């Protein structure tokens, strides 16, 4: 029944003709955007073995089939409502959640939804050239799975804009298709979403670290008093898990292969000579995407964040695990950087909510790095990856005007200029990566030299399954 509709959904769209018409009007513009700005070279002649959400229950959600990408059935799905759900934090703690947008919070909510929505198509734009450089059909399929789901996340936000924000919401939905990642005149809103992702090391680091910011931000929005926002972000989180899986296992497979190649080549040899990716280059890309993703959490001290919390719009990750939810007289002991020295000061906790979420995020990232380092351990190697200090390479917040090395040691501008490519990818690193990715690998079961095969395939299919088919 659901699949007969133009826009698959579990929000009973056909009962709201106005909304249905508005979304059906937006749909062709979305498809045009996908064709223009989505995966380049994979629109009309390829079928991809993807998972399509056709409902939120486990069976409907895990529905796999071959589809041409522009024919993917992007739908609108909200997690099931929680009966008698109550506001979980802030000044309205304990009151019933909202099914409509309160007038006084309309602008703030719109801004949060637009900011979230803007990242989704941005990531598809950033990744549009990767298909032609893929390390295998398995990876190509995973890239497209992530891309179509980010497209669906845009649908999720556009549904909210159209349903609850009237004319303004419809205008915002149009603009979400007009801003473009990296465009000088109309860039995407948040900085990390304007950075190019043209090689697969960047792609895997992005899905590891930047999609994980998606996870922390969506967790905080899923606490929201606006119930439709909470429900839509809750379902998005189930998809986010797969994006981080792609990133974490992608890097793990590169590490595995690097270790193998180092062993074969004799440990003192440069692994690039045998076509692998050296550990320092992997560390630099980690530094890059971790620091950019820290910025995505906003300033350490933020009156916006305080106001989102007070008004019940954006909570903490796992709000129910905290003892106290009103957080009026609590303080956060924060490290500032003054006169070249760190000093700690107490900040009202509500003003530190961006930092509280960042703390959660850093912990989640650190656990992933521990898992990566087990690969070195298993190979008996002493190399390790590590997260840089959170002051390193920041463009937002109180550290952004200063320079620090990855251990958090302050540097002068001159020292930074001299050494920054010890810690961040250089032009030469990018060129090297592009050189080993110049030829895509389209043969089922074959993998580029710099990456190990995955342990298992998708949906119990073999690793050598033809995950993407070409049509004549
Ligand atoms: N770049 O009070 P402040 C995802 C602005 S990822 C540029 O510190 P606030 C995904 C800010 O707008 C998750 N500008 O921050 C992942 C403000 O401007 P005004 C995305 C920035 O307001 C992979 C000023 O600086 N979700 O889903 O607390 C693939 C001072 O702001 C940045 C969300 O972001 C930046 N990085 O904002 C696909 C959730 N950071 O007021 C998808 C929605 C801050 O001075 N957004 N600014 O003009 C929010 O919750 C918040 O707006 C922020 C922090 C987290 C962005
Ligand atoms: Fe997303
Ligand atoms: Fe994602």
Quote the tokens at residue 185: 């005149």
Q: Residues 290, 364: contact at Cβ < 8 Å?
A: no
Q: Using CA positions, which residue lies closest to atom 9 of ligand 1?
A: 298
- Mean pLDDT value of segment 229-233: 98
Residue among 207, 304, 358, 360 whose CB has most ligand 1 atoms within 8 A, to mutate? 304
- CATH number for the domain harbouring residue 321: 1.10.620.20
| 215 has a pLDDT exceeding 90 | yes
Q: Residues 79, 61: contact at Cβ < 8 Å?
A: no
pLDDT tens by residue, 19-59: 999 999 999 999 999 999 999 999 999 999 999 888 888 77
Least confident interval from 45-54, 55-64, 141-150: 55-64
Query: Which structural domain range is residue 189 located in?
Result: 2-470
Question: CA torsion angle for 266, 272, 275, 277 (degrees, to 10)?
Answer: 100
- Mean pLDDT value of segment 437-460: 97
Q: What atom in ligand 1 is closest to the CA of residue 300? A: 8
| 265 has a pLDDT exceeding 50 | yes
Q: Is 236 in the pocket of ligand 1 (CB under 6 A)?
A: no
Q: Using CA positions, which residue lies closest to atom 4 of ligand 1?
A: 214
Q: Quote the number of domains for the chain.
A: 1
For the entire predicted model, the pTM comes to 0.96
User: Ligand 2 mean position to 21 CA, how many Å?
Assistant: 25
Q: Is 116 in the pocket of ligand 1 (CB under 6 A)?
A: yes
**pLDDT tier, 5 (very low <50, low <70, confident <90, very high otherwise):** confident
Q: Is 296 in the pocket of ligand 1 (CB under 6 A)?
A: yes
Q: Residues 449, 276: contact at Cβ < 8 Å?
A: yes
Dist. CA 350–CA 356, nearest whole Å: 9
Q: Using CA positions, which residue lies closest to atom 17 of ligand 1?
A: 298
Which ligand sits nearest to residue 193's alpha carbon? 1
pLDDT of residue 266: 86
| 60 has a pLDDT exceeding 80 | no
Quote the tokens at residue 160: 């909210």
pLDDT tens by residue, 396-435: 999 999 999 999 999 999 999 999 999 999 999 999 999 9
pLDDT of residue 369: 98
| 4 has a pLDDT exceeding 70 | no
User: Ligand 3 mean position to 143 CA, how many Å?
Assistant: 11
| 128 has a pLDDT exceeding 80 | yes
Q: Is 112 in the pocket of ligand 1 (CB under 6 A)?
A: yes
Q: Is 115 in the pocket of ligand 1 (CB under 6 A)?
A: yes
Is the sign of the CA dihedral 420, 422, 423, 426 positive or negative?
positive
pLDDT of residue 2: 44
Quote the tokens at residue 430: 């990018």
Q: What atom in ligand 1 is closest to the CA of residue 314? A: 50
Quote the tokens at residue 272: 């690039």
């Amino acid at each position: 029944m659901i699949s007969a509709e133009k826009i698959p959904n579990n929000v009973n769209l056909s009962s709201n003709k106005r909304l249905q018409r508005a979304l059906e009007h937006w749909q062709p513009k979305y498809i045009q955007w996908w064709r223009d700005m989505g995966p380049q070279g994979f629109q009309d002649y390829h079928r991809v073995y993807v998972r399509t959400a056709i409902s939120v229950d486990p069976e409907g959600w895990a529905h796999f089939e071959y589809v041409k990408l522009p024919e993917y059935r992007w739908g609108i799905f909200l997690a099931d409502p929680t009966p008698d759900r109550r506001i979980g934090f802030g000044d309205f703690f304990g009151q019933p959640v909202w099914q409509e947008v309160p007038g006084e919070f309309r602008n703030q909510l719109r801004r949060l939804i637009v900011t979230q929505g803007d990242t989704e198509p941005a990531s598809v734009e950033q990744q549009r050239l990767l298909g032609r450089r893929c390390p295998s059909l398995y990876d190509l399929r995973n890239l497209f799975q992530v891309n179509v789901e980010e497209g669906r996340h845009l649908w999720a936000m556009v549904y909210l804009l159209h349903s609850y924000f009237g004319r303004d919401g419809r205008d915002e939905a149009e603009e979400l298709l007009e801003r473009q990642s990296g465009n000088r005149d109309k860039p995407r809103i948040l900085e990390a979403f304007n950075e190019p992702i043209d090689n697969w090391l960047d792609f895997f680091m992005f899905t590891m670290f930047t999609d994980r910011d998606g996870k922390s931000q969506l967790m905080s929005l899923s606490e929201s008093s606006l119930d439709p926002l909470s429900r839509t972000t809750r379902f998005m989180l189930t998809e986010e898990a797969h994006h981080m899986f792609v990133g974490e296992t992608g890097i793990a497979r590169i590490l595995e292969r690097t270790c193998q190649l180092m062993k074969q080549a004799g440990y003192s040899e440069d692994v690039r000579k045998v076509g692998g990716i050296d550990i320092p280059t992997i560390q630099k890309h980690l530094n890059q995407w971790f620091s950019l993703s820290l910025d995505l959490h906003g300033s350490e001290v933020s009156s916006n964040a305080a106001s989102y919390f007070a008004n019940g719009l954006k909570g903490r990750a796992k709000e129910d695990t905290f003892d106290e939810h009103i957080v009026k007289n609590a303080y956060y002991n924060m490290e500032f950087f003054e006169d070249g020295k760190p000093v700690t000061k107490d900040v009202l906790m509500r003003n530190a909510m961006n930092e509280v979420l960042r703390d959660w995020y850093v912990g989640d990232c650190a656990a992933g790095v521990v898992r990566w380092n087990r690969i070195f351990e298993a190979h008996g190697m002493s190399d390790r990856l590590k997260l840089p200090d959170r002051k390193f390479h920041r463009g937002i917040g109180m550290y952004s005007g200063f320079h620090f090395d990855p251990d958090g040691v302050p540097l002068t501008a001159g020292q930074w200029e001299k050494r920054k490519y010890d810690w961040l990818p250089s032009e030469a690193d990018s060129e090297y990566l592009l050189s080993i990715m110049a030829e895509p690998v389209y043969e089922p079961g074959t993998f580029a030299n710099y990456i190990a095969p995955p342990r298992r395939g998708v949906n119990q299919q073999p690793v050598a399954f033809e995950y993407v088919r070409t049509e004549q």
